[in-house]
Amino acid sequence: MEDYINNSNCTRPDKLFEHTVLPILYVMVFPVGVVLNVWGMKSLLQKWKKLQGIDILVINLGLADMLYLLTLPFLITYHFKGSVWIFGEAFCKITRFCFKVNLYCSIGFLTCISVYRYLAIVYPLKTMGKLTVTNCAVISAIVWILVSAQSVPDMFFPKHPENKTNKCYDTTDWDKVENYFSYSLSVTFIGFCIPSGIILGCYGHVTLVLCRSNTMKKDVKQRIIKLLVLLILLFSVCFTPYHIFKNLSLYSRVMINQRTCPSWDLISFIGRQASRGLVSLNSALNPLVYFNINEDMGEQFRQLLRGGRQMFSRLFQSNSCSVPVPQTEQEIASPITEDIFLI
């Protein structure tokens, strides 16, 4: 937190996570997220004429992830330089805006995917012919518009006040923190709490339907349950801690502005930094939704893993053959090695 000591007698928090762990995590998320999202969207677009409504939602989910991933190199530079922003105030606001849009578009499209699945499973006859590509494209456009409208006010808060500091705030400076806290609470309720309630309600009902169904195939049930567990994990790991600690940290800053140091200030700060790292993982984990929804992509991914395992097996065997060993030992070791990699 900027000007921490000047605002209260609170203990200055350790910046190790923000300046070291967070950029390292971004470095790992960036290539994984870009490769998986590009591959996933490319695989879906290759069968353009056979796209279903849910595929449109997944493609938009990938576009939202790419919007954020392309800003990571600038954030990596920022944190490795000790939170010194060198790209100007305008681009600072664009970077933070892209993060907000990615975050809430991800939540929005995951919610739409959940509702799509819910309607297709619980009300298959009533929704037949209604979950079309066109309708899903319109819904996707509405999600983008609503999330962008929700995120625009964030750009009016100071992010890079050059006369005070060379940082790029992901929230705002101390002078505007009280107003930003009110804005953050409203965004949390609209952009996170409501979608979370919708998802829990949908999958709670879906679970009851699956338990009572005797006609649905076992493999179909397993795919639905996997998607359910995946979405719950995404919300539990990536989104929930971020919104809890973000608002706790903002409230702590409001109290510090009033010359009061809350006892939980340091915990909220550490949790805030850790949750920023966790929320970035959603761009690398969202492609798992592709594999669950699209059977062809799941099979392609498994083939890729098998190919990597076979290549590693051949490499291991060639290295083993280059080491001279007695003939009897080589004859005994060879079938054992082959059996290990066939498991």
pLDDT of residue 72: 92
- CATH 1.20.1070.10 in the chain: give the residue spans: 13-292
Residue percentage of the chain with pLDDT more than 90:
34
- Domain 13-292 fold is Rhopdopsin 7-helix transmembrane proteins (1.20.1070)
Q: How far is CA 190 from CA 63, 115, 213, in A?
A: 22, 17, 34
Cα 98 to Cα 148: distance, rounded to the nearest angstrom: 9
pLDDT of residue 297: 60
CB 320 within 8 A of CB 70: no
Give the 3-state secondary structure of residue 165: coil
CB 210 within 8 A of CB 224: yes
Residue 183: closest CA among 207, 148, 137, 150: 150
DSSP 14: P
Cα 227 to Cα 58: distance, rounded to the nearest angstrom: 13
Residue 152: closest CA among 97, 102, 208, 202: 97
Segment 157-167 shows an average pLDDT of 74
178 CB neighbour count, 10 Å cutoff: 15
pTM for this predicted structure: 0.81
Q: How far is CA 133 from CA 180, 206, 342, in A?
A: 38, 23, 42
Average pLDDT, the chain: 81
151 has pLDDT over 90: yes
Segment 55-70 shows an average pLDDT of 91
114 has pLDDT over 70: yes
pLDDT of residue 95: 92
CB 276 within 8 A of CB 242: yes
pLDDT greater at residue 93 or residue 160: 93
Amino acid at 277: G
> What contacts 297, CB < 8 A, 6 or more positions away?
40, 43, 44, 290, 291
187 CB neighbour count, 10 Å cutoff: 22
pLDDT tens by residue, 282-308 = 888 888 787 777 666 656 656 655 665
Cα 159 to Cα 253: distance, rounded to the nearest angstrom: 16
61 has pLDDT over 50: yes
Q: For the chain, where are the alpha helices, taking DSSP H only?
A: 4-7, 16, 22-45, 53-69, 72-80, 89-122, 133-151, 177-188, 194-212, 218-234, 240-257, 265-280, 282-285, 287-293, 295-321, 327-342
Q: Which two tokens stand for residue 268?
A: 């909220």
pLDDT tens by residue, 183-228 = 999 999 999 999 999 988 988 888 888 878 777 777 777 777 877 7
Sign of the torsion angle spanned by Cα atoms 105, 36, 292, 136: positive
332 has pLDDT over 60: no
